[in-house]
Amino acid sequence: MTTVNVFTENIFNSWKPDEKDIINKTKKMLEYYISALKDKSCLYGKQYSSVTLDIVLCDSNKTHEYNKEYRGKDYPADIITFAIFADDENSFIFDGDINLGEIVIALDKVIEGDNRDISHSKNKEQELFFLISHGLMHLLGFDHQTEEEYNFVMDEQRKALGSIDYDKI
């Protein structure tokens, strides 16, 4: 069994979601992805005993800054992922641990519900977990440049969200 390490940091003052709940649900979703996407993710064929990732909860000013600096895009994003392991062919496994990277989420965008037409979230908590599940897919090396890729990512997200009883959040 793979150990999943999730670290959170909330630098957004207007909403403090339960970080323990975020960690537990993120672990469940990542465990689903690891199990279901065995031969499809960046983890395939790697020898590891644990995976680690960080989740930073901030505001859209911070995601705007990151988007501009790292992606050359001059607008705030609801989510940005830094897929350390999937995006770097020189990635390494240190002491059996794979650092997948970081998910950065703008909580003010989550509260505003900017993405709810896509995610079909009913509330900010559901929206937060929708974005985390999406970020996990990116950390595992999945993208959605084509309609087929988009449909695959959305389908897997629905399944992962089911693993945390998303409809009851």
Per-domain residue ranges of the chain:
3-168
Architecture of the structural domain at 3-168: 3-Layer(aba) Sandwich (3.40)
- What pLDDT score was predicted for residue 17? 97
Model pTM greater than 0.85? yes
User: Rounded to whole angstroms, how far apart are CA atoms 119 and 105?
Assistant: 15
- What pLDDT score was predicted for residue 114? 63
- What pLDDT score was predicted for residue 93? 94
- What pLDDT score was predicted for residue 119? 66
- What pLDDT score was predicted for residue 116? 65
3-state secondary structure (DSSP) of residue 71: helix
Considering Cα of 135, then 41, then 68, then 55, what sign does the dihedral take?
Answer: positive
DSSP state of 94: B
Q: What parts of the chain have a pLDDT lower than 50?
A: none
Contact 118, 103 (CB under 8 A): no
- What pLDDT score was predicted for residue 91? 84
